[in-house]
């Protein structure tokens, strides 16, 4: 990580509009033998000058309780994150992991209800479930960490589990690839009362069979995202474009991109979503440390603010802060 940080440090920027409130509704904590990204590492990234007031942790297959029955093991992640961020002696402005999005195996159907209740008991911060269903048949495109089968969102058992999420007034984070958008649209129509957050704008792919097809795939993505936008229960996280799978290949360059370059590349996707969903259903997200492959936290949020500056003050506040706080009920 040291060499990578040295590379990121080749581009340094002051935070733009540092007084603007920010809520980061999507980041992870993990601890692997080769990679550690916990509260201290995240705080170092957040300390670059942006006024981050709240954040939301999103599940990533970490800290499971291996002593529990298989279906309850993911509750360990919620409990562990709650412990990490509940230190009363911690001194920082941001409410780190003010919301927690965990995992539960929705293919359990109705039997997932006790798992969801255990998550709620494990932390008052618990807000909902993410079940990553990102799947593609091409060998160069990695499927999600949940190892989902194709068309999981239509599975009857999965939908029974999803009904339990809705019945408990929890939210659902959807992570899938852009060719799967019609599957999410169908699911969203079947659950109009369920609050759904589309992660990373459905990760428009730029690798494998989608390499060198950016204009055509943008057109395909735009058509499908338009259909999804008609589902008023769906909100969109604006981000994820700095992931390697996006195909911009910033991580291969001698220097990382600055915020102007990032904003120029990402703006067409962001602006399309904002036009279709409205600022009250769109929220910028860091997706750190995954998007740290291409840029620093400060530079990334500068790029977001450059895009947001084209909108009114009220709209910018929604995009950078208020939509995320409302969606995840962080003011409760």
- pLDDT, tens only, 271-304: 999 999 999 999 999 999 999 999 999 999 999 9
Domain that holds residue 39: 2-327
Q: Classify residue 193: in a domain, yes or no.
A: yes
Whether residue 58 is predicted with pLDDT greater than 80 in this model: the reply is yes
Total domain count for the chain?
Answer: 1
What contacts 199, CB < 8 A, 6 or more positions away? Answer: 26, 58, 130, 173, 174, 175, 237, 240, 285, 287
Q: Classify residue 332: in a domain, yes or no.
A: no
For the chain, give the mean pLDDT.
96
Q: Classify residue 226: in a domain, yes or no.
A: yes
| Range in 25-29, 73-77, 214-218, 256-260 with the lowest mean pLDDT | 214-218
Contacts 24+ apart (CB under 8 A), 225-232: 225/181, 225/201, 225/272, 225/273, 225/276, 226/276, 227/181, 227/182, 227/185, 228/181, 228/184, 228/185, 228/188, 228/198, 229/273, 229/276, 229/277, 231/185, 231/188, 231/189, 231/192, 231/196, 232/192, 232/281
- pLDDT, tens only, 140-165: 999 999 999 999 999 999 999 999 99
Short-list 221, 219, 242, 236, CA closest to 288: 242
Q: What is the mean pLDDT of residues 258-267?
A: 98
> Which CATH number fits the domain that encloses residue 253?
3.20.20.140
Quick one: pLDDT at residue 2? Answer: 78
Quick one: pLDDT at residue 90? Answer: 66
- pLDDT, tens only, 169-192: 999 999 999 999 999 999 999 999
Q: Classify residue 300: in a domain, yes or no.
A: yes
Quick one: pLDDT at residue 94? Answer: 86
Quick one: pLDDT at residue 79? Answer: 98
């Amino acid at each position: 990580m040291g060499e990578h940080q040295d590379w990121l440090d080749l581009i340094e920027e002051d935070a733009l509009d540092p007084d603007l409130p920010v809520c980061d509704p999507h980041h992870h904590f993990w601890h692997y033998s080769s990679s550690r990204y916990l509260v201290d590492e995240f705080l170092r990234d957040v300390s670059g000058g942006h006024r981050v007031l709240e954040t939301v942790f999103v599940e990533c297959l970490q800290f499971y309780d291996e002593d529990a029955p298989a279906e309850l093991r993911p509750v360990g992640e919620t409990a562990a994150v709650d412990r990490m961020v509940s230190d009363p002696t911690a001194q920082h402005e941001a409410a780190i992991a003010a919301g927690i999005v965990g995992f539960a195996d929705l293919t359990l159907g109705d039997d997932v209800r006790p798992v969801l209740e255990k998550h709620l008991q494990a932390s008052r911060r618990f807000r909902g479930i993410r079940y990553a269903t990102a799947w593609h048949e091409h060998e160069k495109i990695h499927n999600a960490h949940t190892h989902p089968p194709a068309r999981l969102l239509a599975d009857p058992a999965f939908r029974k589990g999803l009904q339990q999420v809705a019945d408990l007034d929890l939210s659902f984070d959807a992570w899938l690839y852009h060719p799967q958008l019609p599957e999410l649209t169908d699911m969203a129509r079947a659950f109009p009362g369920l609050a759904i957050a589309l992660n990373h704008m459905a990760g428009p792919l730029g690798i494998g069979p989608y390499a060198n097809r950016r204009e055509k795939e943008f057109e395909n993505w735009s058509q499908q995202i338009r259909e999804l936008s008609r589902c008023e229960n769906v909100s969109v996280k604006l981000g994820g474009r700095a992931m390697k799978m996006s195909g911009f290949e910033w991580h291969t360059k001698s220097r990382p991109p600055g915020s102007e370059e990032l904003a120029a590349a990402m703006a067409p996707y962001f602006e399309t979503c904002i036009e279709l969903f409205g600022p009250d259903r769109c929220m910028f997200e860091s997706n750190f440390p995954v998007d740290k492959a291409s840029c620093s936290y400060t530079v990334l949020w500068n790029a977001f603010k450059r895009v947001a500056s084209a909108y009114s003050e009220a709209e910018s506040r929604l995009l950078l802060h208020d939509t995320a706080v409302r969606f995840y009920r962080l003011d409760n």
